[in-house]
Amino acid sequence: QDAWFYLGEFDKETKIKHKINKKGNGVYIFLIEGNVEIDGESLVKRDALGVWDTESFDLYANQNSRILLIEVPLNY
Protein backbone atom coordinates (compact mmCIF):
# COMPACT_ATOMS: atom_id res chain seq x y z
CA GLN A 1 0.00 0.00 0.00
CA ASP A 2 3.01 2.34 0.42
CA ALA A 3 1.54 3.79 3.63
CA TRP A 4 3.51 4.93 6.68
CA PHE A 5 2.22 5.77 10.16
CA TYR A 6 4.16 7.79 12.73
CA LEU A 7 3.25 8.57 16.33
CA GLY A 8 5.50 11.21 17.86
CA GLU A 9 5.86 12.59 21.35
CA PHE A 10 7.84 15.82 21.49
CA ASP A 11 9.19 17.92 24.33
CA LYS A 12 8.64 21.65 24.13
CA GLU A 13 10.64 23.58 21.57
CA THR A 14 11.50 20.61 19.35
CA LYS A 15 12.02 21.10 15.61
CA ILE A 16 12.22 18.34 13.00
CA LYS A 17 12.04 18.06 9.22
CA HIS A 18 9.80 15.24 8.00
CA LYS A 19 10.77 13.82 4.61
CA ILE A 20 7.95 12.22 2.62
CA ASN A 21 8.89 8.64 1.71
CA LYS A 22 7.51 8.39 -1.81
CA LYS A 23 6.80 10.91 -4.54
CA GLY A 24 3.05 11.36 -5.01
CA ASN A 25 2.24 10.70 -1.36
CA GLY A 26 0.54 13.12 0.99
CA VAL A 27 0.51 13.29 4.78
CA TYR A 28 -2.53 13.61 7.05
CA ILE A 29 -1.44 15.23 10.32
CA PHE A 30 -3.54 14.92 13.49
CA LEU A 31 -2.45 16.69 16.67
CA ILE A 32 -3.48 14.61 19.68
CA GLU A 33 -2.12 16.94 22.39
CA GLY A 34 -0.14 20.15 22.53
CA ASN A 35 0.66 22.91 20.09
CA VAL A 36 2.75 22.63 16.92
CA GLU A 37 3.52 24.56 13.75
CA ILE A 38 3.71 22.84 10.37
CA ASP A 39 5.50 25.08 7.86
CA GLY A 40 4.12 28.13 9.71
CA GLU A 41 0.55 26.80 10.18
CA SER A 42 -0.41 26.60 13.87
CA LEU A 43 -2.22 23.53 15.16
CA VAL A 44 -3.73 23.02 18.61
CA LYS A 45 -5.17 19.93 20.29
CA ARG A 46 -7.36 17.86 17.91
CA ASP A 47 -6.55 19.97 14.82
CA ALA A 48 -5.72 18.24 11.55
CA LEU A 49 -3.91 19.27 8.40
CA GLY A 50 -3.14 17.72 5.02
CA VAL A 51 0.22 18.21 3.28
CA TRP A 52 0.92 17.26 -0.36
CA ASP A 53 2.91 18.35 -3.42
CA THR A 54 6.11 18.63 -1.40
CA GLU A 55 9.12 16.46 -0.54
CA SER A 56 9.29 17.50 3.12
CA PHE A 57 7.89 19.82 5.75
CA ASP A 58 9.07 21.38 9.02
CA LEU A 59 7.40 20.54 12.33
CA TYR A 60 7.99 22.70 15.39
CA ALA A 61 6.53 21.67 18.78
CA ASN A 62 5.95 24.77 20.93
CA GLN A 63 5.13 22.67 23.99
CA ASN A 64 4.94 18.99 24.96
CA SER A 65 2.96 17.46 22.09
CA ARG A 66 1.70 14.15 20.68
CA ILE A 67 1.11 13.93 16.95
CA LEU A 68 0.01 11.29 14.44
CA LEU A 69 1.24 11.38 10.83
CA ILE A 70 -0.35 9.16 8.19
CA GLU A 71 1.39 9.11 4.82
CA VAL A 72 -0.53 7.59 1.93
CA PRO A 73 -0.56 7.71 -1.89
CA LEU A 74 -2.76 10.43 -3.36
CA ASN A 75 -4.87 9.63 -6.39
CA TYR A 76 -6.52 12.75 -7.75
- 8 A C-beta contact, residue 62 and residue 35: yes
pLDDT recorded at residue 57: 97
CA dihedral 32, 52, 18, 72 (to 10 degrees): 70
**pTM to 2 decimal places:** 0.90
Number of CB atoms found within 10 A of residue 53's CB = 8
- Would you say residue 1 has pLDDT above 80? no
pLDDT tens digits for range 8-57: 999 889 999 999 999 999 999 999 999 999 999 999 999 999 999 999 99
| Residue 72 binned pLDDT confidence (cut-offs 50, 70, 90) | very high
55: left (phi over 0), alpha (psi -120 to 50) or beta: alpha
Task: Please give the single-letter amino acid code of residue 26.
Answer: G
